[in-house]
């Protein structure tokens, strides 16, 4: 075994960690904020390539930013062959100003705006993923599931007892409040909920770290794990639903008015979320594969609507005690960046609350069968709506809006430049 190493990194706009492997003797450098990386490191595309014509590359000489501790490191990674520590960082410039192409900084900006209004968001995320047969999980092929369809199967949970024990142990060490595990409706699909906490940044950190834990522990046990939104056309997709409420300065839930319906403020938050939902869809569904989930009657919303205890709508108001009144945002796939996801949701809700935006009437019954405004149905449309949205610039910053648009447009063009075998087989001889 080698001496312990440190993996230090930032999260890029696609939710992928980018960073360096360092000897443990360099820990002081990280703690003191002396590590530097190019600002462009957080803005590469899904393949790690620079964005063509990005002003962060040649126009500025590919300048470095400062990587500062987030307050959550170092974290042990005991599942590696040579156990190491992971040190999460985020970026500023030399003056200490936040890099608004760092997704954690994008969320921090929204949190600061809430705090300026004496509001605190309480956030929880539901994390769905697939365990795969590692021998089949090759980039060029469709991975094989490790079990059959068995929703809420105790047998599936028993079969992976050692895996889940290690996941929960790592979560406990990281301070991640992992709740119950269930076997979901897809083969080898599971869900672990992360409990509500009154700290949106920490909640998003927890989700991002959770993905790393699950993938690492899966490798240790001979599996692979995927947070891809739709790894199988004929099986359930994986989502990342977000539950949130708002506390005032006194710690009271302002969505609660003692009734089953919730307060006017709750409905204003719903109104803001619905109004901004189409423009935000690219954040909730950021990849080509994401749109295979957003189909009617597929347990993922397609219409821009809301309802009480209605899982066919994009926004659901769960029942239960009034003190726990909250909004469940059900659009996002498991492939979303947790920082951007939470930022877009809280910014949309705050926009609605500040401007008293009233939503349409809540949906009753099956939302898929009703006429209503629709989410963008494909990646190209979602990119276009996002690019043209002045609201996204206003709510989340111009720098982020421009760069995320460019990243997604470049990724789309890369896919469009490839011709798959099925296309050739279909047209080569018949026409």
Task: Answer whether residue 1 shows pLDDT above 50.
Answer: no
Task: Answer whether residue 84 shows pLDDT above 70.
Answer: yes
More confident residue, 234 or 255: 255
Q: How many CA atoms lie within 13 A of 3 on its CB side?
A: 6
Mean pLDDT of 336-350: 98
pLDDT, tens digit (0-9, with 9 covering 90-100), for 153-211: 566 677 788 899 999 999 999 999 999 888 765 568 899 999 999 999 999 999 999 99
In the three-class reduction of DSSP (H, G, I as helix; E, B as strand; rest coil), residue 120 is classed as: strand
Mean pLDDT of 414-425: 91
Report, at the CATH architecture level, how domain 110-397 is classified.
2-Layer Sandwich (3.30)
Task: Please state, in angstroms and rounded to a whole number, the distance separating the CA atoms of residues 35 and 91.
Answer: 10
Task: Please state, in angstroms and rounded to a whole number, the distance separating the CA atoms of residues 315 and 366.
Answer: 13
Q: Assess contact for 285 and 334: CB atoms under 8 A.
A: no
- Where does 302-363 show beta strands of DSSP type E? 306-308, 315-317, 327-329
- How much is the mean pLDDT over the chain? 91
Task: Please state, in angstroms and rounded to a whole number, the distance separating the CA atoms of residues 309 and 132.
Answer: 32
Three-state DSSP string of 20-47: EEEEHHHHHHHHCCCEEEEHHHHHCCCC
Cβ-Cβ contacts under 8 Å for 74 (sequence gap 6 or more): 6, 27, 30, 85, 86, 87
Task: Please state, in angstroms and rounded to a whole number, the distance separating the CA atoms of residues 351 and 342.
Answer: 14
Write down the CATH number for the domain with range 5-99.
3.10.20.70
pLDDT band at 150 (very low <50, low <70, confident <90, very high): low
**pLDDT over 70, % of the chain:** 93
* Sequence spans of domains, the chain: 5-99, 110-397
Whole-number pLDDT of residue 180: 83
Whole-number pLDDT of residue 113: 97
Task: Answer whether residue 143 shows pLDDT above 50.
Answer: no
pLDDT, tens digit (0-9, with 9 covering 90-100), for 390-406: 999 999 999 999 999 99
Return the sign of the alpha-carbon dihedral for residues 329, 334, 335, 336. Answer: positive
């Amino acid at each position: 075994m080698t001496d312990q190493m440190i993996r230090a990194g930032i999260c890029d706009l696609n939710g992928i960690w980018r960073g360096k492997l360092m000897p443990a003797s360099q820990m002081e450098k990280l703690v003191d904020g002396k590590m530097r990386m190019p600002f462009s490191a957080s803005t590469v595309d899904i393949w790690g390539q620079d964005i063509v014509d990005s002003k962060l590359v040649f126009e500025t000489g590919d300048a470095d930013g400062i990587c500062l501790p987030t307050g959550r490191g170092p974290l042990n990674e005991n599942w590696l062959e040579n156990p190491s520590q992971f040190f999460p960082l985020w970026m500023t410039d030399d003056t200490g100003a936040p890099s608004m192409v760092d997704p954690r900084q994008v969320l921090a900006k929204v949190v600061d705006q809430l705090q300026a209004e004496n509001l605190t968001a309480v956030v929880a995320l539901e994390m769905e993923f697939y365990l795969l047969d590692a021998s089949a999980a090759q980039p060029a092929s469709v991975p094989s599931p490790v079990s059959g369809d068995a929703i809420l199967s105790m047998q599936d949970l028993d079969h992976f007892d050692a895996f889940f024990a290690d996941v929960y142990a790592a979560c406990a060490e990281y301070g991640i409040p992992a709740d119950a595990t269930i076997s979901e409706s897809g083969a080898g699909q599971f869900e672990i909920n992360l409990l509500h906490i009154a700290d949106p940044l920490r909640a998003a950190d927890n989700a991002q770290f959770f993905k790393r834990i699950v993938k690492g522990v899966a490798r240790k046990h001979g599996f692979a794990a995927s947070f891809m939104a739709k790894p199988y056309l004929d099986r359930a997709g994986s989502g990342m639903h977000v539950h949130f409420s708002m506390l005032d300065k006194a710690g009271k839930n302002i969505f609660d008015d003692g009734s089953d319906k919730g307060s006017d403020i709750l409905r204003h938050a719903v109104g803001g979320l619905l109004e901004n939902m189409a423009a935000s869809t690219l954040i909730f569904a950021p990849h080509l594969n994401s749109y295979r989930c957003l189909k009617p009657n597929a347990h993922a919303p397609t219409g821009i609507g809301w309802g009480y205890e209605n899982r066919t709508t994009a926004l659901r108001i769960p029942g239960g005690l009034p003190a726990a009144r909250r909004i469940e945002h059900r659009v996002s796939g498991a492939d979303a960046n947790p920082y951007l996801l939470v930022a877009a949701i809280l910014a949309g809700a705050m926009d609605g609350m500040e401007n008293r935006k009233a939503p349409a009437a809540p949906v009753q019954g099956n939302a898929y069968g009703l006429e209503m405004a629709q989410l963008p149905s494909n990646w190209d449309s979602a990119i276009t709506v996002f690019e043209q949205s002045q609201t996204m610039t206003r709510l989340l910053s111009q720098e982020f809006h421009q760069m995320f648009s460019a990243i997604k447009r470049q990724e789309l063009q890369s896919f469009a430049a490839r011709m798959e075998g099925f296309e050739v087989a279909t047209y080569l001889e018949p026409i």
